[in-house]
Amino acid sequence: MASLDPESSEQTHLSEEELVWLYYEEAENIGDLSSHLSVCGQCRTKYEELKADLLSIEGWQIPERSPEYAGNVWKVLIQREPALARKRKAWRHRLSFSRMAVAMSVMAMVCVAFFIGRYTKDETESAQQNDVRQQLLAADLSDHLEQSERVLLELANSEQDQQGVRIDRQRVENLLRTNRLYRLAAGTEGHASLAVVLEDLERILLDVANGPEQLSTEQLDALKIRMDDQELLFKVRVLELRLRKFNPASEESLGEREWKG
Amino acid sequence: MEMSDATAVALVKAGDGDAFRVLVERHSHKIFRLAFRLAGNEEDAEDIVQETFLRAFRNINQFDERAVFTSWLYRIATNYSLDLLRIRKIRMTQSLSASLEEGQSMEDRLATELPTPERLMFSSQLQDRITNAMEQLTTQERSAFMLRHFEGQSIEEISSVLKVGGNATKHAIFRAVQKMRQVLQPLEGESAWRR
């Protein structure tokens, strides 16, 4: 490492390596090196020479490809990989009864586990206070899920041939904030499965909230596919219905009924 | 509005192979430029472009959607280029050995295949000069230098692609700069003399 003090009686200069890392802004002590350059003419000259050499490399020309190049690459790729030409089936036709049944049973288990967990955890408090708290929580969360479900339904039912779908972003942003709180609470309470569903919901809400007010057909398709793959609409719907029926006093019977399917 | 990379990737992951076309149309020119710089010739660059997109499509489920698609694509292209360059090097060595066995001297062979200061001195094309300078670099030096100089990747990113440590990456870049300057400097002297 060079002595960076130009006034030093034993002044040395910056090495070629230091100059290179200064040029690429990878030096650990850029400030010191720059200061030295500003007062040392010899190093400044060397640095200018290095810059000139490296800039001359910019003149290396790459053979131009025609505007049709990408299309030609695509044609070759299709020949080599036929799966590339495959189109996806319409979103709505992919929902099968078996998948719905799986989604519903999973959500029923998640819902019951969450509320049984909450209930037993607070058993030291008075039963009455706890009942009220649980019912309020269930009502709040089910309201939130119902509103979220409406947004998901609007997205899911919008027609593919429309020019786009207008979204009330303010409403989605509000849902997003609320959802985040519920998701954090579920995670803190150790209800990982519920937190996962809320996280899936949050990602969709986040994309919609951060997206344009008018979603294009392509953006809409991508959202539908994600919702579809995650069974999100059904999970949210089932969770909401279970919460509406939730009654702390009959918590045990609810659990029995759900577990028996 | 144009479909984003993330949307296209989500569609491809969901089984819509046709959505991959958006990614090919958007990135094939960039990948070609990277490939040409790494491989040094159009034929190999074309091969790298095709192979990069095929590998990306076949491994699309391994792509983490939180990452940047172009970075992932660049990584695939660079890795494939490295493999290709290594194979080329092995073949070149084998070819050289064969020539020696046939009686051609090492000096004769090198004189026809490697750039000499004289050849460089009289070259009127900057393109040729730089191409010759590039040929002085090892595969690792060339890749590291290209990714830093032309693609602006960080030392960390390049280390990850080349699967070497940060110091080794920095050393490779520095050696590349040194070698290129050595080749280019006589030309600068010549151009100054001509002025």
Which residue do the tokens 């500003």 mark?
A: A38
How far does CA B80 lie from the centroid of its chain? 10
The amino acid sitting at A258 is E
* Smallest Cα distance from A182 to chain B, Å: 23
Q: Global pTM?
A: 0.53
- Pair A237, A110: CB distance under 8 Å: no
* Smallest Cα distance from A53 to chain B, Å: 6
Average pLDDT across chain B, whole number? 79
Q: Do A83 and B3 touch (CB under 8 A)?
A: no
* Smallest Cα distance from B123 to chain A, Å: 14
- Interface predicted TM-score (ipTM) over 0.90: no
Confidence grade of residue A108 (pLDDT, cut at 50, 70, 90): low
Q: Which of B49, B39, B147 is nearest to B88 (CA)?
A: B39
A residues 57-86 lying closer than 8 A (beta carbon) to B: 57, 59-63, 65, 69-71, 73-74, 76-77, 80-81, 83-86
CB-nearest partner of B184 from A21, A56, A88: A56
- Pair A43, A15: CB distance under 8 Å: no
CA-based max dimension of chain B:
65
B residues 111-140 lying closer than 8 A (beta carbon) to A: 126-127, 130-131, 133
Confidence grade of residue A95 (pLDDT, cut at 50, 70, 90): very low
Digit-coded pLDDT (tens) for A191-217: 777 788 888 888 888 888 888 777 777
pLDDT higher at A125 or B79? B79
The amino acid sitting at A57 is I
Lowest-pLDDT choice from A30-34, A74-78, A121-125, B82-86:
A121-125
Which residue do the tokens 């309201």 mark?
A: A143
Digit-coded pLDDT (tens) for A19-77: 999 999 888 888 889 989 899 999 999 999 999 888 888 877 788 899 999 999 999 99
* Smallest Cα distance from A256 to chain B, Å: 37
* Closest CA in chain B for residue A76: B50
CB-nearest partner of A53 from B49, B170, B181: B181
For chain A, give the percent of residues with pLDDT over 70. 69
Both structure tokens of A207: 């994309």
Contact status of A50 with chain B (Cβ, < 8 Å): yes
Distance CA A107, CA A103 (A): 6
Contact status of B60 with chain A (Cβ, < 8 Å): no
Q: Do A222 and B33 touch (CB under 8 A)?
A: no
* Smallest Cα distance from A189 to chain B, Å: 27
Contact status of B164 with chain A (Cβ, < 8 Å): no
- Pair A103, A231: CB distance under 8 Å: yes
How high is the pLDDT of residue B106? 45
* Closest CA in chain A for residue B8: A222
CB pairs under 8 A between A and B: 127
For chain B, the distance separating the N- and C-terminal CA atoms, rounded to the nearest angstrom, is 52
CB-nearest partner of B24 from A74, A87, A88: A74
pLDDT higher at B131 or B28? B28
B2, B4, B9, B20, best to mutate vs chain A, most A CBs in 10 Å: B20
Contact status of B65 with chain A (Cβ, < 8 Å): no
Q: Do A218 and B7 touch (CB under 8 A)?
A: yes
How high is the pLDDT of residue B151? 87
How high is the pLDDT of residue A117? 58
DSSP secondary-structure letter at A158?
Answer: S
CA dihedral B41, B44, B47, B52 (to 10 degrees): -90
* Smallest Cα distance from A120 to chain B, Å: 38
B13, B23, B24, best to mutate vs chain A, most A CBs in 10 Å: B24
Average pLDDT across chain A, whole number? 74
